[in-house]
Structure 1
Amino acid sequence: MKISISGIRGIFNEDLTIQEISRFSRIFGSYLKDNFDVTNCVIARDTRPSGKLVAEVVTGSLLEQGIDVYDLGMAPTPVLFREARKYTGGLMITASHNPLSWNGLKMLINGRGLFESDLEQLLETKIHEHSQIGHTFKIDPHYMTDILDHFHPPTHPNRDVRVGIDFGGGAACNFANRLLNSYQVKYLGINDTMGLSSRGPDPTSDPLVDLCNLVKINNLNFGFAFDIDGDRLVVVNSEGVQLNPDLTLLFCVANVIRNNGFKKFTISLDTSLAIEKYIKDHGGQIYFSKVGESNVLRRMLETHSESGGEGSSGGFIMPSFTSCRDGLLASVIISSLNQDLIKECLSISSKFRQIRTKHPINPKTDNKVLFEKILSALKSHSIEIIYTDGLKFIIDDNSWILVRISNTEHVLRISLESSAEKVDSLFKTFYDKIVEVYEKIQ
């Protein structure tokens, strides 16, 4: 089981047992009672097979703690985050991009995810003795009307825009399609039945063959692939080619610079240099955060950033609307892009190529020793080292490698970016050194 600001995650009925789900739900209920005068919690779940049972356990455990529960049923994570602004607590039942055998609990307070200090306090919370039973309510989300109020459909819409949507059998079903209909964007959909999909839950690591073919055969402008809980978005271009997830963020950033006049942005350390360079070239300020949506948001609030996100996860965040990666919002923004802006983004992005992979590690590994050894092995190859999150080695002006422990899996995440000509050789050199270091300490 993995416990981090990204939530509590594990393989259902193995390390994430019913007992652990109940325990953490009760801890969260007690935490809410300890820190807020009004105690209520809105919940939702994605389409994982275990979701319904987990939701029942969560609901019962919160009710036992005297928490009133407002249930959205099956809904995307951004929808839950938006709705959670009206409640003390929120709880999304999801393991995001992890395999379907996993599930988890993503906890919110006042419409945002937990920061590291919140998580520390939560884990120290003592479960209250039962005092009274809360009440449960089935509710409908207001996300659709909220987004239309914030981002008005154009008076003269571009009726020529046609997109393909790969719902991935996830929680975006019945949301993304209705949303694009509201903006008069025509679409063709695949994997649009909840719980049924021809691909895995994470579009950033799937070749998206069916969506690429759908776009190419039907001459569509874009293809959009959502992950199972709807916070990630990967884009396929008009030629049926899957774009790297950083382009999702770059498209959105370019749009809000041009149309909203945004100047301040926060991005995670593993995000492409293309986004950093684009923002600076257009007179914007950029700040960096540790990887993880809550880390990005916390840094956004500290710097008063207007938007940003995580390029590696295809995650765009606009905190004035939702305090999380919002694939639904990103799909609306990208659907409105004009060709000049698309070409500009593709041009700057083409100068870089990313390789992102992961290497399994023993949960009992001494991470301090591991990173000391990695630092010793790689420091002579870099011109600068950033210690904010794991180790980020700046190799040259256009090349870097980030090595960090995953927030969501028992793996070492290794991300590298450079020019197309250098990226493969650099990656082989550094990856081999890192694996050699790890294997020597086992």
Structure 2
Amino acid sequence: MDLSALVKAYDVRGVVPDQFDENIARALGAAFVDVVEAERIVTAHDMRESGPGLARAFAQGAMQRGASVVEAGLGSTDMLYFASGHLALPGAMFTASHNPAQYNGIKMCRAGAVAIGQDTGLAEVRERAGAYLDGEIPQSVGAVADVERVDLLSAYAEYLRGLVDLSGIRALTVVVDAGNGMGGYTVPAVLGDAALTALPLQIVPLYFELDGTFPNHEANPLEPANLVDLQRKVVEVGADIGLAFDGDADRCFVVDADGAAVSPSAITALVATRELAKSPGSAIIHNLITSHAVPEIVAEHGGRPVRTRVGHSFIKAEMARENAVFGGEHSAHYYFRDFWFADTGMLAAMHVLAALGEQPRSLAEITAEYSRYVASGEINSTVDDQAGRVEAIRTVFADRAVEVDELDGLTVELSDGSWFNLRASNTEPLLRLNVEGSTDQVMAATRDEALAVIRG
């Protein structure tokens, strides 16, 4: 069976049950165990209705191939990474992140939260699972596989609080929009009433009820429309900061006291300076779509900026190669050496809360230091001929290009100081455009010209 439409560049994602069902999950579980050569694995799932059944089918496939399964049950994606690191086990997280309710998927990792992508085992998992679906999953002989259920929420929360101490900061009012996703489960444990130590935080919850149908808005804070409720509530209650998590709570977006969204690039630069203060001279990973301000600020603080392509499996691999202390993406994925080089929106949020609460200034005043340029944000265009449109862009801007590279899609530095990246989505039939310039006018001119070519 051909699973190429389901198994993407760095995860599994598809519509349930049309593209992804329990039979496929069972085959993927068996193939996963074969590829990572595991005797024991850990699984978790988010709040989507299909999650428990898919996770259990995956476990059944794993057990057929002789691996025991630790079921962590309900959790965020960074909780699964914690489980993989804490227990030193390969892991599988059942989530479709910010995708609509009818989707589900799997993010897989080796022991220690080491990411598995297309070039690091996922293609082999896909091929092996397809073969099992065409035939049958052979029963492992001699191995005694069992299921153990564990609750790791309190251990996860305690670990994060050990990395960033919030007990001594000034009192802050924090609005948190969980989008009916897993932030509604993890935030109370880490920052709220369930915390083992009293923190000077007043949490104002929005949509903490776990509901995989997302009745209030999509759990995708990258879309400005999904931040509107948070922005309104922050201003309404006079909060110091707003936080928005995506569906599986591995990404975190930040809103200041005026209700303005803070660029993930500014958050990357802010957290980078904090981590460099603890680990001087360390590498900091930034993907090629983050603001040019990030490598500039990293270098100014004595760090070593390392540019990489987009995608969590690529960034995690680069984090490990460089022993980087921190990494950030434009999409609000933040990676930490102290967290097995994996991404955790919660830890990034805690760093921002600490930076805000350790001094008297507002968040807008703090982040202004890290915001040097004007960015378009990611603009998606559905096109029939992706390669053709990219070549058309290359031709149109050729006479003004100062530098061109193809690390990930097409990145063009222009003579007016602006730059853009155009790349094809790994999961959807889209071209993604990101533009940055020294002023609104410079950015807008480049953006509008590029979009006119892309959209024909």
Cα contact 1:254–1:341 (8 A) shared by 2: no
2:30 counterpart residue number: 26
Cα contact 1:256–1:262 (8 A) shared by 2: no
Q: Report the number of matched residues.
A: 426
Residues in 2 aligned to 1:243 and 1:406: alpha-carbon distance in whole angstroms = 24
AA of the residue aligned to 1:94: T
Cα contact 1:46–1:171 (8 A) shared by 2: yes
Normalising by structure 1, what TM-score? 0.89
AA of the residue aligned to 1:357: I
1:242 counterpart residue number: 261
Residues in 2 aligned to 1:97 and 1:190: alpha-carbon distance in whole angstroms = 17
AA of the residue aligned to 1:114: I
Which one of the candidate residues 160, 176, 184 is aligned to 1:147?
Answer: 160
Cα contact 1:11–1:102 (8 A) shared by 2: yes
Answering whether residue 239 of structure 2 is matched by residue 220 of structure 1, we say yes
Q: Deviations over 1:108-154 (max 9, x none)?
A: 10122114233344345465611256211111112112223333444
1:200 counterpart residue number: 218
Residues in 1 aligned to 2:429 and 2:204: alpha-carbon distance in whole angstroms = 37
Answering whether residue 89 of structure 2 is matched by residue 88 of structure 1, we say yes
Superposition deviation, residue 297 in structure 1: 1.5
Superposed counterparts of 1:153-172, under 5 Å? 153-154=166-167, 157-172=168-183
Structure 1: runs of 5 or more not aligned: 437-442
Cα contact 2:180–2:209 (8 A) shared by 1: yes
Judged with a 3 Å threshold, the aligned counterparts in structure 2 of structure 1 residues 258 and 123 are, in CA distance, closer, same or farther, namely same
1:434 counterpart residue number: 454
Partner-residue secondary structure (3-state), 1:320: helix
Residues in 1 aligned to 2:307 and 2:372: alpha-carbon distance in whole angstroms = 22
Superposed counterparts of 1:257-296, under 5 Å? 257-258=276-277, 261=280, 263-296=282-315
Superposition deviation, residue 294 in structure 1: 1.4
Residues in 1 aligned to 2:418 and 2:21: alpha-carbon distance in whole angstroms = 43
Q: Deviations over 1:290-317 (max 9, x none)?
A: 100111121122222111121x211211
Cα contact 1:185–1:335 (8 A) shared by 2: no
Q: CA RMSD in A?
A: 2.4
Which one of the candidate residues 307, 311, 316 is aligned to 2:334?
Answer: 316
Identity, % of aligned positions: 22
2:16 counterpart residue number: 12
Partner-residue secondary structure (3-state), 1:92: strand
Partner-residue secondary structure (3-state), 2:184: coil
AA of the residue aligned to 2:95: T
Superposition deviation, residue 350 in structure 1: 4.9
Judged with a 3 Å threshold, the aligned counterparts in structure 2 of structure 1 residues 278 and 341 are, in CA distance, closer, same or farther, namely farther
Judged with a 3 Å threshold, the aligned counterparts in structure 2 of structure 1 residues 345 and 109 are, in CA distance, closer, same or farther, namely same
Cα contact 1:355–1:416 (8 A) shared by 2: yes
AA of the residue aligned to 2:58: V
Q: Which piece of structure 1 moves more, 38-47 or 376-385?
A: 376-385
Structure 2: runs of 5 or more not aligned: none
Superposition deviation, residue 374 in structure 1: 4.2
AA of the residue aligned to 2:83: E
Residues in 1 aligned to 2:165 and 2:263: alpha-carbon distance in whole angstroms = 29
AA of the residue aligned to 2:20: L
Superposition deviation, residue 286 in structure 1: 0.3
AA of the residue aligned to 1:68: S
Cα contact 1:81–1:323 (8 A) shared by 2: no
Which one of the candidate residues 441, 444, 452 is aligned to 1:421?
Answer: 441
Judged with a 3 Å threshold, the aligned counterparts in structure 2 of structure 1 residues 404 and 351 are, in CA distance, closer, same or farther, namely closer
Q: Deviations over 1:242-263 (max 9, x none)?
A: 2233333233223323455463
Superposition deviation, residue 346 in structure 1: 1.6
AA of the residue aligned to 2:342: C
Cα contact 1:92–1:105 (8 A) shared by 2: yes
Residues in 2 aligned to 1:352 and 1:294: alpha-carbon distance in whole angstroms = 28
Residues in 2 aligned to 1:177 and 1:426: alpha-carbon distance in whole angstroms = 43
Judged with a 3 Å threshold, the aligned counterparts in structure 2 of structure 1 residues 277 and 341 are, in CA distance, closer, same or farther, namely farther
Cα contact 2:222–2:331 (8 A) shared by 1: yes
Cα contact 2:376–2:443 (8 A) shared by 1: yes
Partner-residue secondary structure (3-state), 1:349: coil
Cα contact 1:44–1:92 (8 A) shared by 2: yes
Judged with a 3 Å threshold, the aligned counterparts in structure 2 of structure 1 residues 91 and 135 are, in CA distance, closer, same or farther, namely same
Judged with a 3 Å threshold, the aligned counterparts in structure 2 of structure 1 residues 258 and 32 are, in CA distance, closer, same or farther, namely closer
Superposed counterparts of 1:29-428, under 5 Å? 29-33=33-37, 38-85=38-85, 86-110=87-111, 111-115=113-117, 116-125=119-128, 127=132, 129-131=138-140, 134-141=145-152, 142-154=155-167, 157-181=168-192, 182=195, 183-195=199-211, 196-207=214-225, 208-258=227-277, 261=280, 263-310=282-329, 312-337=330-355, 338-339=359-360, 342=363, 343-361=365-383, 371-396=390-415, 398-418=417-437, 419-428=439-448
Residues in 2 aligned to 1:49 and 1:360: alpha-carbon distance in whole angstroms = 30
Residues in 1 aligned to 2:323 and 2:336: alpha-carbon distance in whole angstroms = 11
Residues in 1 aligned to 2:282 and 2:36: alpha-carbon distance in whole angstroms = 36
1:439 counterpart residue number: none
Residues in 1 aligned to 2:397 and 2:373: alpha-carbon distance in whole angstroms = 25
Residues in 1 aligned to 2:98 and 2:57: alpha-carbon distance in whole angstroms = 22
AA of the residue aligned to 1:130: Q
Residues in 1 aligned to 2:151 and 2:415: alpha-carbon distance in whole angstroms = 51
Cα contact 1:39–1:88 (8 A) shared by 2: no
Cα contact 2:115–2:317 (8 A) shared by 1: no
Cα contact 1:254–1:345 (8 A) shared by 2: no
Partner-residue secondary structure (3-state), 1:203: coil
